[in-house]
A and B are shown apart, each in its own frame.
Chain A
Amino acid sequence: MIEISELTVRFGGVRPLDDMSVCFERGTCGLIGPNGAGKTTFFNVMSGFVKPLSGSITAFGDNLLKMPHFRRARWGLRRTFQTEQAIEELSVLDNVAMVWEHSRQEGRGNRRQDVTAALAFVGLEVDPDVKVGTLGARERRLVEVARAVVGRPKIVLLDEPAAGLPDEETEHLGRVISAIPDAMGALVVLVDHDMTLVSACCETTAVLDFGKLIAAGPTAEVLRDERVIKAYLGTEEDL
C-alpha cells in the first residue's frame, strides 16, 4: 500500500501538486486527469527527481521521500517514462539485465532466470541479443515494461505505456499490466489517457485536476463521476 499525505509541489508560482492525499491499496491502480493535472509530477516526486514542498509518502511502511533517488530502485520502485525509452545501443537482454543489476537486493535471485522470466512475461518474442535501437515501437514498449517488472519490484509506475499504440497492442499491454500484481507481487500505478485501458486494468482509480485530487474509488464509478467528466470537458478524450 502507498499512502500519500498532503503532498504539495511548488515551482515558482505554480503548484503542480496541491495538497494531494490518496491511498493506493493493492493491485493495479489508475491515475488519470487532464493534461497538466500533475500526474507526471507525482511520478517525478516518487522517483525522487522533484522535491515536494511538504507532505509525505509512505510505501509499504517505508518513508520513500527519505531515500536518495537511485536507491529507490533497489528498494523496489520501478518506473517507465513517456519518452525516454529503453536504451537503444544495448541489446534487449542487456537492457533488462541492467535494471536487474542495479536494483536487486543483495544475493537474491538469478540474473538469467529473472531476465528471461520478465521477457516471457511481457510476451516479447525477439532475439534477446538484438539491439533495442533496431526494434519497432511496440517491441520497445514491451522492453520498457520488462525493465519495470524484472526482479521482484514493490511498486511499478507506468507513465502512458499505451501512448501511440494501436488497439490490439493496447489490449495485449492491458493483459500484461493486469497480470503484474499477481505474477510479480507488485502494486501498479497506471497513468494513461486511454480510458478503455484504464477500465480494463485498474480496479481503483484516482483523478487529478490542477494538482488536486478530485475523485478516487472503483474505476467504473470514478469514470461516471460528474466532476471528472467536467474536468475533461474541452479536451478530446473519449470516456
Chain B
Amino acid sequence: MSALAFLGLPTWENFKPFIVTGLALGGVYAVSGVGMVVLYQTTGVLNLAFGAVGALGAFIAWEMINNTGLPTWVAILTCIGFGGVVTLTYGVIFGPPLAARDPLTKAVATLGLALILLGAMSWIWSDKARSLDLSTSNSGFEVNGVLVNWTQVIAMGFAVGLTIVTVIYLRYTRTGTAMRALADDREITATLGVPVRRVEASAWFVSGCVSGGAGLLLGNLVGLDAATLTFLVISSLAAALIARLNSVVVTLIAGLAVGLVNAMLAPILSVSEYRDMSPFIMATIALLWLSRKDIRVTGVR
C-alpha cells in the first residue's frame, strides 16, 4: 500500500495535474508579489490596487480582442502599457502628498485607487461571465502524462525570469542600485544626488506593467471577473508577506509554494472546499513566526 493511500489521500496520479495548475497560478502570484515588493522597497508604498490595475488592463485587452479587429499582440501590449501608465499616474499624483506618511496610510490610499478602478470596471462591463482567451492556452505539450499549455508555461517562466531580471537589475544597474539605496535610507539617498523622483517613477511604471501582465495571465487562468481579479491580490500579497516585503527571491519561492499548496489541496476531498484559505493561513503563520523576535519600536527619539 503506498504511503499516500495509507494516509487516506488520493493517488499520485490524481495530484499530478494540480502540480501544473498550482505552479502556473503560483507563478502569477510570484509575479505580482515581486512587482509589489520592488515598488514597496523603492517608494514605501504597498500597492493594494495591483490586482485592480491588472484586471482593468485585462478587460481592455478583452474588449480589444473581441470587439475590435486589432491583433492579439496589440491588445496584450496595450494591457501592459495601460498598467504601467495608470500606476505611474497614481504614483506621480498621490506619491508626493503622502510621501511623509507611514506605510499603512500609503497602502490604504492605494485602496482608494482600487475602489475607483473596481467601480469603473463593474460599471462598464457589469458582472457577465467572461473569459480572456489567449491562443497560448490552446496548445501545449505533455509532461509525464500531464497536459501543460503554453500560458501556464509563460506564467511560470515569467515568474522565474522576472525574479532573475529583477535581482540582476537591482544589483548591477544604476537605477537598480538607486532603488536599493532608497529602500535602505530615503533621506540620505536624496542628499546624495540620486534623482529620486525619476527612480521612483521607473519603479511605479515597471511595477504597473508587471501588474498588467499578471492581469492578463490571471484573466486567462482564473477568469475575467472584476471583483475576483481585484481581490486575488490578497493571495499575491500572501507571497509578499511571507517574504516580509523584503526579498524578491523569497517572494518567488513563496508565490510558487502558495499556488502549489492551494492546488494540491484540491483532490483531497476532506479539505478541498477550504483550500482557498491556504494562502491566508500560510501568510499569517509565516508572518507571525518570522516576527516573533521583533521588538516593537515605541516611537521614542
Contact = CB atoms under 8 A, between A and B. Distances in A.
Contacts of B298: 49
A40 interface: yes
Nearest to B301: A40
Nearest to B300: A49
A116 interface: no
Contacts of B300: 44, 49-50
A83 B300 CA distance: 10
Contacts of A44: 300
Interface string A74-92: 0000000011000000000
Place the interface of chain A in its size category: under 10
Interface in A141-182: none
A219 B298 CA distance: 34
Interface string B274-301: 0000000000000000000000001011
Nearest to B295: A51
B188 to A, nearest CB: 14
Contacts of A50: 300
A51 to B, nearest CB: 9
A80 to B, nearest CB: 13
Nearest to A69: B298
A44 B300 CA distance: 8
B297 to A, nearest CB: 9
A82 B300 CA distance: 11
A50 B300 CA distance: 9
A44 B301 CA distance: 9
Contacts of A82: 301
A50 B299 CA distance: 11
Interface in B189-243: none
A50 B301 CA distance: 10
B92 to A, nearest CB: 34
Contacts of A83: 301
A38 B301 CA distance: 12
7 contacts: A40-B301, A44-B300, A49-B298, A49-B300, A50-B300, A82-B301, A83-B301
Top 7 A-B residue pairs of the complex, sorted by shortest distance between their CB atoms: A49-B300, A49-B298, A44-B300, A40-B301, A50-B300, A83-B301, A82-B301
Interface of A: 40, 44, 49-50, 82-83
Interface of B: 298, 300-301
